[in-house]
A = this chain, B = another copy of it.
Amino acid sequence: MSMMTEMMTSMKDMPSMSMMDMEAMQECMEACSACEQACIMCAGSEMPADTGKCMNMCMNCADVCSTMTRMMMRPMAYDMPSMMAMLDACMAMCRACYDECMMHADTNMCCNMCAQACMDCYEACEKMMASMKSMMA
C-alpha cells in the first residue's frame, strides 16, 4: 500500500469520506499528481520559439492538476459542487494541453510523454466524476 493510500485510508472514518469512491479517487490523485509533474518537466524542456503556446498550456495544466490533487487530499472540505466543477476544469485543461502537446509529439519526447499523462489524467477525472454522480444518485 502506498503512503498516499495509507494516509487516505487512515481518514476513512471522516463522514465526508462516505461520499467518495476511494478507489476511483486514489487513481485520480495519482494521475493528477503525475500529470502535474509531466507538465512541469515538459514546460521546462522546450527550446524552440514556436512552442510558446505549448509551454504556457503546460504551466496552466500543472497548476490545475496540483490544485485538483490537493482538493482530493482534504476530506474535510469535500463539497460536491466545487469538487465537480474543478473536475470539469481539470478535464478541459488536460484535453487542451493534450491537443497542444500532440502537435509536437513527433519531435519532442517530453511533449509525447506529457500528452500521455494528460490523457491518463483526463480519463481518471472522468471516472472519478462518474463515481461521484453515482454516489449522489
Chain A contacts to B: CB under 8 angstroms: 3-4, 6-8, 10-11, 33-34, 37-38, 40-49, 52-53, 55-57, 59-60, 63-64, 66-67, 69-71, 73-77, 79, 81-82, 84-86, 88-89, 91-93, 95-96, 109-110, 113-114, 117
Contact = CB atoms under 8 A, between A and B. Distances in A.
Contacts of A88: 85, 88-89
Contacts of A93: 82, 85-86
A52 B71 contact: no
7 contacts: A40-B74, A44-B59, A57-B79, A63-B70, A64-B86, A82-B89, A88-B89
A78 to B, nearest CB: 9
A67 B67 contact: yes
Contacts of A64: 67, 71, 82, 86
Nearest to A77: B56
Contact of A3 (B48, B60, B84, B117): B117
Contact of A41 (B7, B52, B79): B7
Given A10-B45, A47-B49, A52-B76, 11 more contacts: A11-B41, A11-B110, A44-B75, A53-B77, A55-B76, A56-B77, A59-B70, A60-B67, A60-B77, A82-B93, A82-B95
